[in-house]
Structure 1
Amino acid sequence: MAHPATAERPRAATANPIDRARRQREDQRLMRKVQTGDDHAREELIERYMPLARSLALRYRRASEPLDDLIQVASVGLVKAVDRWDPERGLAFSSYAVPTILGELRRYFRDSTWDVRPARDLQELCLALEEAREALWGELGRQPTVADLAARLERQPEEIVEALQATEGRSIRSLDAPVHDEENDSASAGDLIGADDEEFERVEAGVTLERLTGILDDRAREILRLRFAEDLLQSEIAEVVGCSQMHISRIIRSSLEKLYAYGSGKEVAE
């Protein structure tokens, strides 16, 4: 992130008092034309303050946010300032435009740059924390500690820690990224995500079947087990049980009808 001191300074801020007064009168003249519907004057006023919008965008530059996107957001704030400024109130346009542009940039970072979005007050603290960290880095010549940040923002250390943790949610790592960067053969995050286990469904189905078949006698339960669990043919079951295939067929059909009637009756009862 670029330090504010290195950002491009708007020309209005470095002009002498006479130049500032002249510029303010020119801004007022253009704005009066804008209020009469002069689009050319509106475009001219916007163009005059684009360096200001760029300099403010640079204050919010992060490695993860393209500078062009930030300039576009700042430009939107500048346009809003042009459309809302009332020169009759005596406030210089630059004084009105700066908080309007900064507000647009803050809203952008608050609402549009989070993969995992925390509560709004925590988002605001995260933004203030990043600005404070950059300022303290320049002042201290080292990475500021939690205590340094807490003192600068007048917040409790616990709040600073929570904000630092929330900042990690601004962007989510790829599921293909290794879990441990120092290990070449480290598993990826995606490898650690659980999947459905079909064995759970099989066990659950077995428990359900065992509960339902409690209404059948031992012989009928064994025949159903041989048919549907062991996948034997009716002729093979007949040899195991010691009866005719036709009798096996009747037992299977009768047992299934009982189970269906029992299951239907139970569902109705529920």
Structure 2
Amino acid sequence: MALTVSASTAPPQEEAPVQTPAPVQAPVSLQPPAPATPQRSRGADTRALTQVLFGQLKGLQPGTPEHNRVRGALIEANLPLVRYAAARFRSRNEPMEDVVQVGTIGLINAIDRFDPDRGVQFPTFAMPTVVGEIKRYFRDNVRTVHVPRRLHELWVQVNSATEDLTTAFGRTPTTAEIAERLRIGEDEVLSCIEAGRSYHATSLEAAQEGDGLPGLLDRLGYEDPALDGVEHRDLVRHLLVQLPEREQRILLLRYYSNLTQSQISAELGVSQMHVSRLLARSFQRLRSANRIEA
């Protein structure tokens, strides 16, 4: 008898094992890194161009057209360095165009003195020269009142200490706090503050901004009634010293002490007639010595 195996009695098949999905990993970026910012790229280009131009300048004879052309290209390429240095002096209330022009003079001096064989980057070499030229300009030409060098240097320290203390306290520091920070006297701090205000002088005739009032000269000034007599008094003083001592004394007693001729005669022990003659002679000498009336 044939043995029949039904589907129900077939041996069970092994099930495929259930695989656990691997953890999803972040895709690896195959793109190149972000390019440098335009500002950094321009700075690198400027440094590379400056290095090339200095290499060309070194082999040229000063004064030749080619030397002047390369030198001019160096100046133009490094003008952003001058503007960067000039921006540090915006608080001085000086036209920025003037400050840039002065800084350009420092840049030209740095170009003429720079030696590329020393291995120093040109911006590192030029920056102190540019800043020094600008500071010299402010020290010698901008201030209305000349300030001693020591007081000017101390004013820079006072200004820096004021900014630091303002940030630390959240308010404007007092004179005593600034003096304690710098270990100097309060009088020196006040002198430095006054020195910092000497960059610009306000005209006495300038109208007051905001309040619409007339200038300070119109509000405080007045006509001195004795002003017209200044020249006359100076002239009389010059003429009096030319008289003999006794005649000078008679004139002083008569017109400064307001004594009469009789009182003068009693004071000097001479007759009144003699006093009158001396006065007349003194007047004649004064008139003859007066160049204006002559």
- TM bucket by the smaller chain? 0.5 to 0.7
Q: Which has the higher contact order (CA 8 A, sep 6+)?
A: 1
Correspondence 1:47-58 to 2 at 5 A: 47-58=76-87
User: After alignment, is 79-88 or 93-102 more displaced?
Assistant: 79-88
- Measured against aligned partners, the alpha-carbon deviations of 1:12-49 in whole angstroms (never above 9, x if no partner) come to 79857xx7974564354144146655111111111111
The Cα shift of 1:151 comes to 6.4
Residue 121 of structure 2 corresponds to 92
**Take 1:82 and 1:165, find their aligned partners in 2: how far apart are those partners?**
37
**CA root-mean-square deviation:** 4.5
Residue 146 of structure 2 corresponds to 117
**Take 1:132 and 1:199, find their aligned partners in 2: how far apart are those partners?**
52
Aligned-residue identity in percent: 29
**Take 1:143 and 1:34, find their aligned partners in 2: how far apart are those partners?**
56
Which secondary structure state, in structure 1, belongs to the residue aligned with residue 103 of structure 2?
A: helix
Return the index of the structure with the highest Cα Rg. 2
Q: Indicate yes or no: 2:186 matched with 1:160.
A: no
Matching residue's letter, 1:65: E
Normalising by structure 2, report the TM-score: 0.56
- Measured against aligned partners, the alpha-carbon deviations of 1:230-267 in whole angstroms (never above 9, x if no partner) come to xxxxxxxxxxxxxxxxxxxxxxxx5555436998xxxx
Which secondary structure state, in structure 1, belongs to the residue aligned with residue 142 of structure 2?
A: coil
* Structure number having the greater helix percentage: 1
Runs (5+) with no aligned partner, structure 2? 1-37, 238-249, 287-294
Give the direction of change, closer, same or farther, for the CA distance of 1:21–1:66 in structure 2 (3 Å limit).
closer
Which secondary structure state, in structure 1, belongs to the residue aligned with residue 75 of structure 2?
A: helix
Q: Indicate yes or no: 2:252 matched with 1:208.
A: yes
Which secondary structure state, in structure 2, belongs to the residue aligned with residue 98 of structure 1?
A: helix
The Cα shift of 1:73 comes to 0.9
Residue 240 of structure 1 corresponds to none
Correspondence 1:142-161 to 2 at 5 A: 142-146=171-175, 149-150=178-179, 155-161=184-190
- Measured against aligned partners, the alpha-carbon deviations of 1:40-69 in whole angstroms (never above 9, x if no partner) come to 111111111100100110110136311111
Which secondary structure state, in structure 2, belongs to the residue aligned with residue 172 of structure 1?
A: coil
**Take 1:196 and 1:123, find their aligned partners in 2: how far apart are those partners?**
41
1:30–1:42 contact (8 Å) kept in structure 2: no
Which secondary structure state, in structure 1, belongs to the residue aligned with residue 132 of structure 2?
A: helix
The Cα shift of 1:170 comes to 2.4
Correspondence 1:1-270 to 2 at 5 A: 22=48, 25-26=51-52, 28-33=54-59, 36-37=62-63, 38-62=67-91, 64-130=93-159, 133=162, 142-146=171-175, 149-150=178-179, 155-177=184-206, 188-189=216-217, 191-192=220-221, 195=224, 197=226, 198=228, 208=252, 210=254, 214=264, 217-218=271-272, 258-259=281-282
Aligned length: 220
Give the direction of change, closer, same or farther, for the CA distance of 1:76–1:31 in structure 2 (3 Å limit).
same
**Take 2:78 and 2:212, find their aligned partners in 1: how far apart are those partners?**
50
Which secondary structure state, in structure 2, belongs to the residue aligned with residue 91 of structure 1?
A: coil
Matching residue's letter, 1:26: V
**Take 1:27 and 1:162, find their aligned partners in 2: how far apart are those partners?**
48
Give the direction of change, closer, same or farther, for the CA distance of 1:148–1:73 in structure 2 (3 Å limit).
farther
The Cα shift of 1:126 comes to 2.7
The Cα shift of 1:185 comes to 6.1
Residue 229 of structure 1 corresponds to none
**Take 1:12 and 1:27, find their aligned partners in 2: how far apart are those partners?**
20
